Amino acid sequence: MMLVKTKKELFEKLQVLREKGSIGFVPTMGALHRGHLSLVDFAARENPVVVVSIFVNPTQFNDPDDLKRYPRDLEADLELLKTTGCNLVFAPEAAEMYPEPDTRKFDFGHLEQVMEGKHRPGHFNGVAQVVSKFFEIVQPDRAYFGQKDFQQLAVIKMLVRLLNLPVEIVACPIVREKSGLAMSSRNELLSPEERENASLIFDILSQAKNLTGEKSVEGLVTWVIENINKNPFLNVEYFEVVDSENLQPVKTWEEKGEKKGCIAVHCGKVRLIDNIVLN
Ligand code: AMP
């Protein structure tokens, strides 16, 4: 496994690697866990070459404290990646990715106005800036994203359509801790007590899945929020039931299509997100 930090080195290595066949790309912000590694495994199964990027992208943070606190440990990440099918790690500094400010503004319409978009203004524009740069630099055949960031996945798919990029977006399932808590780099910032209590999020989401027969959509939303907020460590920012395809709000269970319950919860200073298929 090779590590490069500049675009120039990356281009040189990729020129050689590309001869082996398709390139699978996994963009990450580091502080890697089994969720990230599962994406690398999917990529390695489908491509002879796997590239992983590690970059805490400043333009997608709307809260400077969140950016400062975000966990970083390149050495540990490299040790983990050595155990996978990753061939090349690209870990640039911010100046390498943004030699000048990126002033591009993307328009994802409804997709960026709900849930994460509403509560983290500018977040998806920053995601689109960095991912489009990575796609240009790496030119992957396939790119792997986790369903944990479900709205991000929808935004990336739209980005690819908007820019006509020749990359296939592969959605990978959520990997969870034994307690059910969705794995996240931010879990490292939780105290042991907070981490234990945070497992209630998936517990309640799983129960909600079984209540769609007896509660209206609105009733279920209220039930989820109330039951999570009963826990003194947790504070729900939003819980919404949306159509999996277009993220439009769902009003009744009779509507066609897959329905997702998407949630953001504050646990101490840490903001956690999760989602579940409800039907
Ligand atoms: P991040 O480093 O948090 O930006 O995440 C990098 C990629 O890993 C994104 O596509 C995430 O959706 C994905 N990811 C993060 N956590 C998980 C998880 N628990 N299960 C599956 N994929 C995940």
Q: What does the pLDDT read at residue 8?
A: 98
Alpha helices by DSSP H, the chain: 7-17, 34-46, 64-69, 74-82, 94-97, 115-119, 123-138, 150-162, 192-198, 200-209, 217-229
Q: What does the pLDDT read at residue 253?
A: 97
pLDDT tens over the chain, length 279 residues: 999 999 999 999 999 999 999 999 999 999 999 999 999 999 999 999 999 999 999 999 999 999 999 999 999 999 999 999 999 999 999 999 999 999 999 999 999 999 999 999 999 999 999 999 999 999 999 999 999 999 999 999 999 999 999 999 999 999 999 999 999 999 999 999 999 999 999 999 999 999 999 999 999 999 999 999 999 999 999 999 999 999 999 999 999 999 999 999 999 999 999 999 999
For the Cβ of 28 lying below 6 angstroms from any atom of ligand 1, the answer is yes
Nearest CA to ligand 1 atom 6: 28
Nearest CA to ligand 1 atom 17: 35
Is residue 33 part of the annotated active site? The answer reads no
Round to the nearest angstrom and report the end-to-end CA distance of the chain: 42
Q: For 215-241, how does the pLDDT look when each residue is reduced to its tens digit (9 = 90+)?
A: 999 999 999 999 999 999 999 999 999
d(CA 40, CA 24): 8
How close is the Cα of 254 to the center of ligand 1, in Å?
31
Atom nearest to 148 CA in ligand 1: 12
Q: For 14-49, how does the pLDDT look when each residue is reduced to its tens digit (9 = 90+)?
A: 999 999 999 999 999 999 999 999 999 999 999 999
d(CA 126, CA 57): 8
> How far does CA 222 lie from the centroid of its chain?
26
H or E segment to which residue 169 belongs: strand 168-172
Atom nearest to 39 CA in ligand 1: 22
d(CA 172, CA 122): 25
Among residues 33, 36, 119, 266, which one is catalytic? 36
Q: What does the pLDDT read at residue 94?
A: 98
In our burial notation (b when 16+ CB lie closer than 10 A, e otherwise), range 189-206 reads bbeeebbebbbbbbebbe
Mutating to test ligand 1, I would choose from 25, 36, 80, 275 the residue with most ligand atoms within 8 A of its C-beta, which is 36
How close is the Cα of 35 to the center of ligand 1, in Å?
6
Q: What does the pLDDT read at residue 91?
A: 98
Q: What does the pLDDT read at residue 218?
A: 98
Atom nearest to 185 CA in ligand 1: 3
Token digits of residue 264: 């953001």
User: Please, what's the largest Cα pairwise distance for the chain?
Assistant: 59
Q: What does the pLDDT read at residue 18?
A: 97
Q: What does the pLDDT read at residue 111?
A: 95
How close is the Cα of 20 to the center of ligand 1, in Å?
27
d(CA 244, CA 154): 9
